[in-house]
Amino acid sequence: MFEARHTMATTSADNGIPQSAAGGPPAAGRGGDGDGGGEWGWFAPAGGERTAEQSARPGPDVGSAGSAGSAESAESAEPAYPANPGYGRFEPSRDAELIRRTLEEIEPISQAVTSYFYALLFLQHPGLRELFPASMDSQRDRLFKALLTAAKLVDERRVLVEFLSHLGRGHRKYGTRPEHYPAVGECLIAALTRYATRTWSAETEAAWVRAYTAISQIMIDAAAEDERRAPAWWRAEVVAHELRTPDIAVLTLRPDQPYPFRAGQYTSIETPWWPKVWRHYSLACAPRPDGLLVLHVKVVPAGWVSTALVHRARPGDVLRLGAAAGSMAVDHSSDAGLLCLGGGTGIAPVKALVEEVARGGRARSVEVFYGARAGRDLYDLEAMRELDRRYPWLTVRPVAAEGPPDGGGLTGRLPDVVREHGPWQGYDGYLSGPPGMVRSGVEALVAAGVPAHRIRHDSLDALGAAGASRD
Ligand SMILES: NC(=O)C1=CN([C@@H]2O[C@H](COP(=O)(O)OP(=O)(O)OC[C@H]3O[C@@H](n4cnc5c(N)ncnc54)[C@H](OP(=O)(O)O)[C@@H]3O)[C@@H](O)[C@H]2O)C=CC1
C-alpha cells in the first residue's frame, strides 16, 4: 500500500509459512525505474515510483495520487479492523510509545516479519495477491518504512493525516478497496504477535489495533473523497519518443482526459510490460494548452520500468498514470528569485518551473545551475540554452565536473559551484537530482545565505529509498 514521496521544504526472508506468493522478477526507481523512486505502500501494491529516474534500486516511492472508494462505499465501509470491546479510544501518546517499542524490537528482523505478513496475507486472502506486483522484494521494505513513518508521526496528527490521506489516495490506482483493510490488519497483528515476543502484550495489541483502525479509516476516507473528483488512474499514449543519449529518452504523452498537476510535481507510471510496478517521474513541463506531458527517463541499472520506457516504448504505446504529487512547486506568495539546481535528469522539474514562471507573466529572477559529470551528459542543454536566450530574467549555467561543457560553462560539482557563485540571500532554493546532490546542495544553499525554510526539494527519505534510481 503506501506509496510515498514527498516534496518538502527544508523545514524489505524467511518465514514460517509456506512460500507461495512472493517472488517474481528482479526489480530495479523517480525519474526512474528503479523500483526505487516511486511510491511505497504499506500493505498494498506498489512499485516504487519516483521522480525522475531514480537511479537504479528497487524500491518504493512516495507520492500522492489516486482515487479510491466512492462516498457510498465509504459510508458503508466496515470498520477497518473489527471492533473489540476492549479497545477504547485511540490514545496517541501511550499508544505511540507501545508501538515504538514493538517497532524497535522488530526492526532488526523486519524482513522476516514482513515476509511472514505477506505470506499469511496471500495464504488467507489469495484474491489480494493480484493487487501486488510479481516481485515483492521492494514491497517488504515499503511496509516497514511506512509503519515507521506513521509511528513517528503518531503524535503529530495533522502531519499524520496528511501522510495517510496521501497514501489512501495513492492506493486507488492499485485497486485497493475498503474491504481489503481488515484482512491486512489481521495479518499485521498476527505477524507482530509472532515476532515481537519481548514487547507484545494485550495492552500493546490493543494499541496496534487502535492505531491500525485509525490509520485505515483515514486512508479509506481520503480515497473516497478523492474518488468524487478524480479517476484512479489516467491512460496516456506515447506520442513522441526521443533518445537523447544511449540511456536517456524524452517521452511525450497524451493523457486520455485532462491531467491536473503543477509544475515541479511528479507522476506515477505503470507500463504495459511490468503490470503493478509503478514508478515516479517528474513532469518536465508546466501544464500545456494541448494537455501533453513530457518525461525525462534515464535507464537505471537493472531497472525494469526505466529500461522499458527508454528502450521499448514507442509512439502508440499506452501507459497508466497515477495522480500528480509533490510540493516542489513555485511559491507564488514569494517575490524572491528562484535559485534552481538540477543534477542529471533532475533538470526535468526545474525546466517545468522555468516554464511556469514564463507563463505567469510576473518576471522573477530565475538562476538555473544544470550539472552533470561530463558535458555530454547534459542531454537537455540546448533546450535550456534556448530558454535562456528567450527570457531576460533567466540565467542557465551548465556545470560539469570533468571540465567545461562545449559552448561554455562551469567546471566543478554542482553544490560547490553554486556556493562559489553566492551569496544567495533573496533567493528561494529548488533542488532536484540524486539524493547526495540534493543533500549537499541544501547545505551549500544554506551556507550561501538561503534560509532553510525557503528551500524546496523532494523528500530525502523518498530519494534515499528510491536511490538514485527510478526505474
Ligand atoms: N527523471 C526525473 O524526472 C527525475 C530524476 N531525479 C533524480 O535525479 C537523479 C538523476 O540521475 P542521473 O541523471 O544519473 O544523475 P547523475 O548521477 O549523473 O548526477 C548528476 C550530477 O549530480 C552530481 N552528484 C551526485 N551525487 C552527488 C553528491 N553527493 N554531491 C554532489 N554532487 C553529486 C553528479 O556528480 P558525479 O557524476 O560526480 O556523481 C552529477 O554531476 C536520479 O537520482 C533521479 O531519481 C530527480 C527528479 C526528477
Give the pLDDT band (50/70/90) at residue 82: very low
Cβ–ligand 1 distance for 414 under 6 Å, the answer: yes
CA 323–ligand 1 middle distance (angstroms): 25
Q: Do 220 and 356 share a domain, yes or no?
A: no
Q: So what's the pLDDT on residue 459?
A: 72
pLDDT digits 0-9 by tens, 379-422: 999 999 999 999 999 999 999 999 888 889 999 999 999 999 98
Domain for residue 421, yes or no? Answer: yes
Q: What is the mean pLDDT of residues 279-298?
A: 97
Q: 115 versus 150: which is more confidently predicted?
A: 115
Domain for residue 195, yes or no? Answer: yes
Residue nearest atom 7 of ligand 1, based on CA coordinates? 433
Q: Do 313 and 354 share a domain, yes or no?
A: no
Q: Do 270 and 379 share a domain, yes or no?
A: no
Q: What is the mean pLDDT of residues 108-120?
A: 92
Tell me the best of 245, 279, 306, 470 to mutate to test the pocket of ligand 1, counting ligand atoms within 8 Å of each CB and taking the most: 470
Q: 39 versus 459: which is more confidently predicted?
A: 459
CA 204–ligand 1 middle distance (angstroms): 43
Instruction: Tell me the CA distances in angstroms from 118 to 137, 231, 309, 405, 416, one per residue in order.
Output: 11, 28, 29, 50, 45
Please list, in sequence order, all residues whose beta carbon lies within 8 angstroms of the beta carbon of residue 128, skipping any fewer than 6 positions away: 121, 122, 180, 183
Backbone angles phi, psi at 275, to 5 degrees: -55, 140
Please list, in sequence order, all residues whose beta carbon lies within 8 angstroms of the beta carbon of residue 178, skipping any fewer than 6 positions away: 69, 73, 74, 77, 78, 80, 220, 223, 224
Helix H or strand E encompassing 118? helix 110-124
Q: So what's the pLDDT on residue 142?
A: 79
User: Checking DSSP bridges between strand 266-270 and strand 318-321, what pairing results, if any?
Assistant: antiparallel
Burial of 316 (0-12, 13-18, 19+ CB in 10 A): exposed
Is the per-residue pLDDT at 60 higher than 60? no
Instruction: Tell me the CA distances in angstroms from 185 to 67, 83, 177, 216, 229, one per residue in order.
Output: 21, 12, 14, 9, 28
Domain for residue 162, yes or no? Answer: yes
Q: So what's the pLDDT on residue 213?
A: 92
CATH number where 263 lies: 2.40.30.10
Q: Do 414 and 370 share a domain, yes or no?
A: yes
Angle, vertex CA 120, rays to CA 119 and CA 121, nearest 5:
90
Contact predicate 318/237, CB 8 Å: yes
Cβ–ligand 1 distance for 468 under 6 Å, the answer: yes
Number of structural domains found in the chain: 3
Q: So what's the pLDDT on residue 32?
A: 55
Through-space distance between the first and last CA atoms of the chain, rounded to whole angstroms: 19
Cβ–ligand 1 distance for 432 under 6 Å, the answer: yes
Is the per-residue pLDDT at 67 higher than 60? no
Q: Do 203 and 274 share a domain, yes or no?
A: no
Cβ–ligand 1 distance for 268 under 6 Å, the answer: no
Domain hosting residue 264, numbered range: 234-321
Q: So what's the pLDDT on residue 442?
A: 96
Cβ–ligand 1 distance for 413 under 6 Å, the answer: yes
Residue nearest atom 27 of ligand 1, based on CA coordinates? 437
Q: Do 109 and 249 share a domain, yes or no?
A: no
| Residue bearing cell 528510491 | 466
Lowest-confidence segment of 128-142, 229-243, 326-340 by average pLDDT: 128-142
Q: What is the mean pLDDT of residues 183-209?
A: 95
> What nine digits make up the cell of 418?
553554486
In eight-state DSSP terms, residue 253 is E
Q: So what's the pLDDT on residue 460?
A: 60
Domain for residue 176, yes or no? Answer: yes
Work out which ligand 1 atom sits closest to the CA atom of 296: 1
Q: Do 61 and 165 share a domain, yes or no?
A: yes
pLDDT digits 0-9 by tens, 84-102: 333 444 455 888 899 999 9
Work out which ligand 1 atom sits closest to the CA atom of 400: 41
Work out which ligand 1 atom sits closest to the CA atom of 281: 3
d(CA 97, CA 437): 35
| Residue bearing cell 510576473 | 362
| Residue bearing cell 560539469 | 400
Q: Percent of the chain at pLDDT above 70? A: 77
Instruction: Look at residues 14, 55, 22 and name the one whose alpha carbon lies nearest to residue 135.
Output: 22
Is the per-residue pLDDT at 282 higher than 60? yes
Residue ranges in 125-241 assigned as alpha helix (H) = 137-152, 157-170, 180-195, 202-227
Cβ–ligand 1 distance for 434 under 6 Å, the answer: yes
Q: So what's the pLDDT on residue 44?
A: 34
Which of 227, 251, 271 delimits the end of a domain? 227
Instruction: Tell me the CA distances in angstroms from 148 to 42, 96, 125, 221, one per residue in order.
Output: 10, 11, 25, 22
Q: Do 381 and 243 share a domain, yes or no?
A: no
Q: So what's the pLDDT on residue 461?
A: 54
Spell out a b/e string for 396-419, using b for 16 or more CB atoms within 10 Å of the CB, else e: bbbbbbeeebeeebbebbbbbbbb
Work out which ligand 1 atom sits closest to the CA atom of 433: 8
CATH number where 351 lies: 3.40.50.80
> What nine digits make up the cell of 275?
503490470
Cβ–ligand 1 distance for 298 under 6 Å, the answer: yes
Work out which ligand 1 atom sits closest to the CA atom of 284: 3
Spell out a b/e string for 95-118, using b for 16 or more CB atoms within 10 Å of the CB, else e: bbebbebbbebbeeebbbbbbbbb
Please list, in sequence order, all residues whose beta carbon lies within 8 angstroms of the beta carbon of residue 75, skipping any fewer than 6 positions away: none
Domain for residue 330, yes or no? Answer: no
Q: Do 275 and 355 share a domain, yes or no?
A: no
pLDDT digits 0-9 by tens, 233-276: 999 999 999 999 999 999 999 999 999 999 999 999 999 999 99
Q: What is the mean pLDDT of residues 305-330?
A: 96
Contact predicate 61/4, CB 8 Å: yes
Give the pLDDT band (50/70/90) at residue 125: very high
**For residue 260, cis peptide bond before it (omega within 30 degrees of 0):** no
Q: 471 versus 391: which is more confidently predicted?
A: 391
Q: So what's the pLDDT on residue 77?
A: 28
Residue nearest atom 32 of ligand 1, based on CA coordinates? 437
Cβ–ligand 1 distance for 373 under 6 Å, the answer: yes
Spell out a b/e string for 306-315, using b for 16 or more CB atoms within 10 Å of the CB, else e: bbbbbeebee
Q: Do 207 and 157 share a domain, yes or no?
A: yes
Instruction: Look at residues 466, 415, 407 and name the one whose alpha carbon lies nearest to residue 441.
Output: 415
Q: 318 versus 458: which is more confidently predicted?
A: 318
Backbone angles phi, psi at 266, to 5 degrees: -120, 160
Domain for residue 471, yes or no? Answer: no
Cross-strand bridge partners of residue 269 = 279, 321
Cβ–ligand 1 distance for 323 under 6 Å, the answer: no
Domain for residue 50, yes or no? Answer: yes
Which of 227, 247, 279 delimits the end of a domain? 227
Q: Do 300 and 316 share a domain, yes or no?
A: yes
Domain for residue 1, yes or no? Answer: no
Which of 296, 321, 346 delimits the end of a domain? 321
Q: Do 165 and 47 share a domain, yes or no?
A: yes
Residue nearest atom 12 of ligand 1, based on CA coordinates? 344
Is the per-residue pLDDT at 13 higher than 60? no
Q: 111 versus 23: which is more confidently predicted?
A: 111
Q: So what's the pLDDT on residue 283?
A: 98
Confidence (pTM): 0.79
Instruction: Look at residues 349, 341, 351, 343 and name the one whose alpha carbon lies nearest to residue 418.
Output: 341
Is the per-residue pLDDT at 313 higher than 80? yes
